[in-house]
Copies of this chain bind each other. A is one copy, B any other.
Amino acid sequence: MSVQTKELLIKSARKVFSEKGYHDAHISHIIEKAGVARGTFYLYFESKDEIFREVLKRAIDDLREIIKPIDTSFDIQQQVLSNICGVIYYALKNKDLTKIVLYRDRWNKNSRIIDEFIQDLIGMIENSLKKGISMGILKLHNTHTFALAIVGTMKEIIKEIIEKEQVDVSNLCQELVEFWLKGLIKEEGKL
């Protein structure tokens, strides 16, 4: 088992999946880009599905690294900003992976892993919101709804920026956070 070959295949697969989508990405495309023979592919992966899941897994692992739960004993807004910017920078640096993750095919059983990540993310956001509420910083609201709103907003924003050139990420992030917070906090100027 040559690790190089396996990595090469994963890299090629990532490219191909992001360019063509799962269904139009053929084993031929992947092995051609990797420059290996058809049989070699099946030495490293059981199936097309397996390599696809491997590609997804890596992206999700990366994202889990980037997003840190909020620690209320430090500057909260800063941590929120840091998480958001981190995700956006990752997306910009890994457009291939980002496309695969963001444009996941709901009917493709392999991409359940993405849903689980999103669910976790929503849970994390809800927890942060709840903390904010119990700390008296945020209004009493349906945290699930707002977690969904935050995730949905992020998805849409990221879709936009990975298709565009030249985005002022830090400014964008601040604007977003301000949008969210000014809607959520009890009284202006208090945070």
The CA-CA distance from A184 to B148 in the complex, in Å, is 14
Q: Decide if A186 is an interface residue (CB 8 Å cutoff).
A: yes
Chain B residues whose C-beta falls within 8 Å of the C-beta of A103 in the assembled complex: 105-107
Query: Copy number of this protein in the oligomer?
Result: 4
The CA-CA distance from A151 to B157 in the complex, in Å, is 10
Q: Decide if A156 is an interface residue (CB 8 Å cutoff).
A: yes
Closest to A151 in B: B156
Residue interface bits A104-128, CB-to-B below 8 A is 1, else 0: 0111100000000000000000000
The CA-CA distance from A186 to B185 in the complex, in Å, is 14
The CA-CA distance from A8 to B136 in the complex, in Å, is 56
Chain B residues whose C-beta falls within 8 Å of the C-beta of A188 in the assembled complex: 182, 188
Closest CB in chain B relative to A126 CB, distance in Å: 13
Q: Are A132 and B184 in contact (CB under 8 A)?
A: yes
Interface residues of A in 62-79 (CB under 8 A from B): 76-77
Q: Decide if A20 is an interface residue (CB 8 Å cutoff).
A: yes
Interface residues on A, range: 35 or more
Chain B residues whose C-beta falls within 8 Å of the C-beta of A23 in the assembled complex: 23, 105, 107
Q: Are A21 and B149 in contact (CB under 8 A)?
A: no
Closest CB in chain B relative to A44 CB, distance in Å: 16
Stretch of A51-59, A81-89, A171-179 at the chain-chain interface: A171-179
Q: Decide if A99 is an interface residue (CB 8 Å cutoff).
A: yes
Q: Are A139 and B21 in contact (CB under 8 A)?
A: no
User: 21 interchain pairs (CB within 8 A)?
Assistant: A21-B105, A21-B106, A23-B23, A23-B105, A24-B107, A99-B106, A137-B190, A138-B186, A139-B186, A142-B172, A145-B172, A148-B153, A148-B156, A148-B160, A149-B153, A155-B155, A178-B183, A180-B183, A181-B183, A181-B191, A182-B182
